[in-house]
Amino acid sequence: MQGGIMRKRRNPIERRRARRPVLWPWLVVGFMGFVLTPIAFVTVFGVFDFDAEAISFQGEFNSDDAGGLASGEGFFWTWAIATWLPGIAGALLLWRGLDLNRSDLTHRGWHYRPGKAPRAAGRFHTFPVGVKANQRVSALAWGSIGTRVAAIYTVWTSHKYRYSVEQLELPAVLPPVMLLPQGGYDKLMTSLGGQDLHVESAAFNARWRVVTDNPAGAHAFLHPRMMERLLQPDVEGMAISVDGGTLLSWWPGLTPVDTAMRHLDVLDELTDLIPASLYSQFGTPRNPAWGEPTVEAPALTPEQIYAQQLRDQTFHP
C-alpha cells in the first residue's frame, strides 16, 4: 500500500487548484502606499522642502493657495485610499486565509491550535495526508461530531501546495481506499498509482473513481447502502479517503469552516453505514497513541476532553 497510492509526481491538478492564494499584489500595493504616501503628502501640499541636510517647514499659506490646496488634498486622499486599502485588505485576507476561521470553533466546544502541529509518524499512507513521512499540519481544530472525535486542519504536500482536510476517527484501522470524483482528478489518479476499482453500479462508476490496493476490503466498504449515500447531491465533488483509522475528506486549497462542518456531517453518516463485519474481517487495532475515537458523554464536556488530550499529547492528526 505504501508504495502504491502514496507515491505521487507533480501534476497539473495540484498546480492549478492547491497553490497558495495570490495575495502578493495586494500586499505590494499596500507596502508602496505606506512608503510613498508621506512623499505624496509632501509633493501635493508643498508644505515641506527636502533639503540635502534636513527637511524644513516652508512657511504659511495665503488665501490664493486655498484652491490648489483643496485639489491637492483630494488627490492625496485618493492616493492614500487607493494604496492603503489594498494593503489592509491583503493583510486581512492573508490572516483569515491562514486561520480559516477555525478559531471560531472554540465557541462550539472545539479546541484550536494555531500554527503548525506535529502528526503521528507513519499513520497515513494516502494522498494528501501521507505524502511525506515528516508531514506537519497547520490551523488544527478538533472536537466532536456526535460522539465521534473529529478534526479540521490544513496539510502541506510541498512548500506551496496545501489541502484542507476533514477527519473523523474510526474504531479500527481499515484498508486504505480513495474515492475521487470522476473527471476532476484524472491526472492525479495517474500519478498516484494503485488499482482503479469498478463496482456493479453504473451510476456509481460514472460518479466516482476508486483507488485501492485492497479490492476485497474496498468492495466490502462499498456495499449497496454506502454507494446509495455516496450518490446523494451533498457528497458531489468531495474527495474521500479511508486511511489510518479515520474517514477523511479533502479539498485543494482552503475550505470555509461551514463547508468543512458539512463535510464532517457527511462523513458521520458514512461512518454509520460501515458494517461491523468490515471491522471484524478487515480491521486492525488502532495505535493507543492516537487517542480514543469516541467521546464519553456527559462525564466530561468535549472541550475538557480535548484540552486533556492536548496536555497528554494523545491526539495525533
Q: What digits encode the pLDDT tens for the residues 105-124?
A: 777 778 887 777 766 667 88
State yes or no: pLDDT of 66 exceeds 90.
no
User: Rounded to whole angstroms, what are the CA distances from 66 to 42, 79, 301?
Assistant: 16, 20, 67
pLDDT single digits (tens) 228-244: 999 999 999 899 999 99
State yes or no: pLDDT of 19 exceeds 90.
no
What per-residue confidence (pLDDT) applies to 107?
74
State yes or no: pLDDT of 12 exceeds 70.
no
What DSSP character marks residue 233?
Answer: G
Could you give the CA distance from residue 194 to residue 242 in angstroms, rounded to a whole number? Answer: 14
Name the H helices within the chain: 12-17, 24-45, 66-99, 186-192, 202-207, 215-221, 224-230, 257-272, 276-282, 302-312
Among 296, 315, 298, 297, smallest CA distance to 306 is for 315
pLDDT single digits (tens) 128-182: 887 766 667 888 888 889 889 999 988 887 777 788 899 999 999 999 999 999 8
Q: What is the CA radius of gyration of the chain?
A: 27
Could you give the CA distance from residue 38 to residue 15 in angstroms, rounded to a whole number? Answer: 40
State yes or no: pLDDT of 309 exceeds 60.
no
Sheet holding 239-243, edge to edge: 111-117, 137-145, 148-156, 162-169, 246-252, 239-243, 177-181, 208-212, 195-197
State yes or no: pLDDT of 268 exceeds 50.
yes
Given pLDDT bands bounded at 50, 70 and 90, which one contains residue 308?
Answer: low
State yes or no: pLDDT of 76 exceeds 60.
no
pLDDT single digits (tens) 276-289: 999 999 999 988 87
Q: Which pTM value belongs to this model? A: 0.66
Average pLDDT over residues 247-258: 87
State yes or no: pLDDT of 55 exceeds 50.
no
What per-residue confidence (pLDDT) applies to 296?
58
What per-residue confidence (pLDDT) applies to 69?
44
Classify each residue of 124-160 as buried b or exposed e, where b means 16 or more C-beta atoms within 10 Å of its C-beta: bbbbbbbbeeebbbbbbbbbbbeebbbbbbbbbbeee
Q: What is the pLDDT of the chain when averaged over all its residues?
A: 72
State yes or no: pLDDT of 37 exceeds 80.
no
What per-residue confidence (pLDDT) applies to 32?
60
User: Rounded to whole angstroms, what are the CA distances from 74 to 34, 59, 209?
Assistant: 18, 21, 59
Question: Residue ranges per domain, the chain?
Answer: 24-99, 100-312
State yes or no: pLDDT of 16 exceeds 50.
no
What per-residue confidence (pLDDT) applies to 39?
59
Residue that wins the pLDDT comparison between 60 and 25: 25
Residue that wins the pLDDT comparison between 105 and 296: 105
